[in-house]
Amino acid sequence: MSGAQLQSASPALTIQGSQKNVGSVAVATAAESKPKKKICCACPDTKRLRDECIVEHGESACTKWIEAHRLCLRAEGFNV
């Protein structure tokens, strides 16, 4: 009887082990798809130029810097 118990226990252990591996693979894939930086810390140069321009001249006069910052953020992997 002990042989039958071992055989029935083995597939259960294999399934549990497979489920753990699948979960860690899914986590690794999700981590790789995310940008590595926070959006507040990405593209500090274009952000500074954009913000200074908006303060001094208003948003409508700074579309060039706003678009430059958006392009930089997209290049870093953000969807903006």
Per residue of the chain (80 residues), what is the pLDDT tens digit?
A: 555 555 555 555 445 544 445 454 444 444 455 558 899 999 999 999 999 999 999 999 999 999 999 999 999 999 99
Q: What is the pLDDT of residue 4?
A: 54
Q: Check whether 43 is labelled as a binding-site residue.
A: no
Interior/surface letters 11-26, b for 16+ CB within 10 angstroms, e for the rest: eeeeeeeeeeeeeeee
Q: Check whether 41 is labelled as a binding-site residue.
A: yes
* Judgement on whether residues 27 and 62 belong to the same structural domain of the protein: no
Q: What is the pLDDT of residue 51?
A: 98
* Judgement on whether residues 24 and 42 belong to the same structural domain of the protein: no
The CATH number given to whatever domain includes residue 72 is: 1.10.287.1130
Q: What is the pLDDT of residue 40?
A: 93
Q: What is the pLDDT of residue 37?
A: 83
Rounded to two decimals, the pTM is 0.56
Judging by beta carbons within 10 Å of its beta carbon (0-12, 13-18, 19+), is residue 45 exposed, middle or buried?
A: exposed
As given in the structure block, the two tokens for residue 26 are: 């899914």
Q: What domain count does the chain have?
A: 2
Domain with 40 in it: 36-80
